[in-house]
Chains A and B, each alone.
Chain A
């Protein structure tokens, strides 16, 4: 047990270290952007009519602590970030954590849901297709995979929009109906969310499913060809037990491994889909903040949060694999 605890600790440390490196990259990029927070804020105020002077900018800089050396500012930023605090948005002067709040969790929820959908479909279908070797099923799957690869999510979203506008004269946009948009969270609001969220989950899941199908099928094909499956058949094991207990169980390990990478992919697809389906005018997604705000504090925080989710997922899958796969488990315990 103790060794297992040590393993978890070491993985957690690794995750933390990765986050630190990423924070450095993100922070550096934030710094490289021309015009710092103070200038931006005051430029913004300028467009609103109040005049500013160089001295105002200097004062603002000192107030924000922007005159301290790079390393110190980075240190402070990373420590705060780990606590979940990202300071204030440059332009809006609102606490970022407050601003992002539910938006981040909603986005994460939608992405994870689409991944879950993808695997819920891909695992049974992929396994059965590899096992039966039915030519129709195989070709059908190939077609679906290629379609999923060739039609990127945002195009699919566009086509769905086109379709629904022509035939329904209505657009299926937004994450919430008007009544619930700013309401407090309760069961009804959640149900409303589900009613609207199925579309982005479906669209995001589209290419994730195609990808997952191919992967599951290839892995299963590989495993089925291995000697231990023949040996099990030679022992009299047959039917579903032969399929699930032997090749399927072993094919799933690499899939668990790849979950972090899958989440990365979905995060990549989320912004565009969100924009097309105008999920943002419900103010529900953080991607709008990223694209429109022109605010590097906010941008940095968002990137860090997204990457942090992936790192966290990788950590969990590492631990999960260690529990499930006896090879890893035993090598840890020794």
Chain B
């Protein structure tokens, strides 16, 4: 089965003291095995919330719309993630079929428990392994991600490893249960550039070896260009453009995507002024009417943009965009 995960009409609101805040609105996408999808957007665009939703990991005050659906295709058949409520049931998904790695590897390891213990715990949670077997697999995994002297590191604590090693250890721990889908939430943001390159290479190798799917969340278009097959651009909870990575970067459709690409500094013209996307992302409490991007868009089509939500349009076979410019039946 090639199809790995299907997300349809995911809408997610949070109950807060100030009211209901929409974090994700009508998000749909799908991913196949061996595919790497980049999920790009500013802070506040809803990328992490979407990713956590795939494991039903959001906080208790999260409200999912009834039409939202997330179907995960495992070896044992399709799993409707949002219908699972009890953590015992979700074990299949969390750490089993889907693993997640985080931006801050130091913060994602428990400080006073050794790395080995945490890895063994996860393995034993997802299979019938003895401690010795789990230990063997863990050490093997640590070796596989390029950590030197893995047996020694197994007994060490997170604070004893360097930044890059910690990130590798986290990847090792995430992959030890052989997940089908890996969600990487800004895994390289906190690393310096050389380590970043190594980690990205490692991830590409692992995708090939395990035939995993990866959802790579980042705000860095450069990283996406290097690693992803396709990219989805998110803004204020909506996917405003999605397509093959070369396609989107070479021929961006949505004004926001164009703005993001234009904002990148140009190496060939060091004197050119920087052109960021004007304005700031609105507060979630002041969600714009109509198209979510209308408050900062430089290509507005009059009042239409602030009153009507555009409908999705497949401009090319695998390239879709959410913009009135591409809606043939603009009223």
Contacts and interface: CB of A to CB of B under 8 A. Distances in A.
Interface stretch (A73-81, A83-91, A229-237): A229-237
A233 B94 contact: yes
Contacts of A330: 157, 159-160
Contacts of A226: 107
A324 B111 CA distance: 12
A240 B226 CA distance: 42
A223 B55 CA distance: 22
A245 B109 CA distance: 12
B41 interface: no
Contact of A236 (B94, B114, B157): B94
B87 interface: yes
B70 to A, nearest CB: 15
Interface residues of B, number: 32
A230 B57 contact: yes
Among B55, B91, B111, B174, max chain A CB count under 10 A is at B111
A187 B112 CA distance: 43
B104 A235 contact: no
A246 B112 CA distance: 9
Interface size class of A (residues with CB under 8 A): 20 to 34
A237 B88 contact: no
Contacts of A133: 60
B90 to A, nearest CB: 7
B108 interface: yes
Given A228-B107, A326-B112, A327-B159, A236 B102 contact: no
Contacts of B91: 236, 238
Nearest to A228: B110
B164 interface: no
A242 B88 CA distance: 12
B126 interface: yes
B295 interface: no
Contact of B126 (A236, A250, A327): A236
B113 interface: yes
B138 interface: no
A239 B57 contact: no
B107 A326 contact: no
Nearest to B117: A245
B50 interface: no
Interface in B45-60: 55, 57, 60
Contact of B90 (A227, A230, A238, A246): A238
A128 to B, nearest CB: 16
B163 to A, nearest CB: 15
Given A227-B102, A231-B102, A234-B57, A249 B96 contact: no
A235 B157 CA distance: 18
A239 B110 contact: no
Given A233-B57, A236-B95, A325 B112 contact: yes
Given A235-B95, A239-B87, A228 B125 contact: no
A228 B94 contact: no
A150 to B, nearest CB: 28
Contacts of A239: 87-88
B122 interface: yes
A330 B111 CA distance: 12
Contact of B157 (A231, A237, A242, A326): A326
Interface in A55-93: none
Contact of A227 (B104, B112, B122): B104
A231 B183 CA distance: 12
B113 A245 contact: yes
Nearest to B108: A231
A234 B107 contact: no
B94 A234 contact: yes
B231 interface: no
Contacts of B55: 234
B176 to A, nearest CB: 10
A236 B57 contact: no
A234 B100 contact: yes
Contacts of B104: 227
B99 interface: yes
B121 interface: yes
Nearest to A133: B60
A239 B109 CA distance: 18
Contacts of A246: 110, 113
A111 B60 CA distance: 41
Interface in A291-306: none
Interface string B55-72: 101001000000000000
A227 B108 contact: yes
11 contacts: A228-B110, A231-B102, A232-B118, A233-B87, A234-B94, A235-B118, A236-B96, A238-B88, A246-B110, A250-B112, A330-B157
The 4 closest A-B pairs by CB, nearest first: A238-B87, A236-B95, A235-B95, A231-B108
